Amino acid sequence: MDRYLASFIDHACLCYHEARNVRHLIKAGHVPPGPFELLRTLPTNTFDAWQAMAPLRSEAMASGTAHSASEIFTKRFGLSLDDLAQLYGNPNWRSGGYGGNPWVQITAAVVELQSAIEDGDDATASEGGQLLPEMRHNTGALGEKLELLNRPSDADRYR
């Protein structure tokens, strides 16, 4: 099951990374700032935010289990993946070019992958590991987004 841990961590990290866009909902008065203050500490620039999360991703990988990795993200941001799914279900995300409703299903799939890993369900973990990179968000597939975020040369072009 360890072979799925990196996929879980990358995709969980993406869920938190995207949630930094809650600042738009806060600014519009759709959600209170309090529960989301730790997400708002991430840089607004996509690549800077991803780089800021690199130590957290490393710590999650070193934890060795999906459960421990998930706890690391929850502790850092004060929100669980289930909390993020609820946030992404907010109807005020609609028609935005960031965050929002597509991430409800993405976050649910990440939670399902975590459960499969923890339960030792190889078939479901394998399916999730294949499904997640193909899932669509606001501007493309998750696999493409991860690939772009992990290429430093591309990050420099978008700053």
* Per-residue pLDDT reduced to its tens digit, 80-135: 999 999 999 999 887 666 667 889 999 999 999 999 999 999 999 999 999 999 99
Beta-bridge partners for 141: 136
Mean pLDDT in the chain? Answer: 90
- The predicted pLDDT at position 139 comes to 80
pLDDT tens-digit profile of 132-148? 999 998 788 999 999 99
At residue 90's C-alpha, the angle toward residues 138 and 94, to 5°, is 40
Q: According to the model, what pLDDT value does residue 154 have?
A: 53
Number of domains, the chain: 1
Tokens in use for 6?
Answer: 């990196």
Collect all residues with Cβ–Cβ distance below 8 Å to 110 and sequence separation of at least 6. Answer: 8, 11, 12, 15, 81, 132
d(CA 149, CA 49): 10
pLDDT band at 153; cut points 50, 70, 90: low
CB environment 128-155: b (16+ within 10 A), e (fewer): bbeebbebebbeeebeebbebbeeeeeb
The mean pLDDT value for 52-59 works out to 96
| Segments forming the whole domain that contains residue 151 | 2-157
pLDDT at 70 over 70: yes
Give Cβ neighbours of residue 75 (< 8 Å, ≥ 6 apart). none
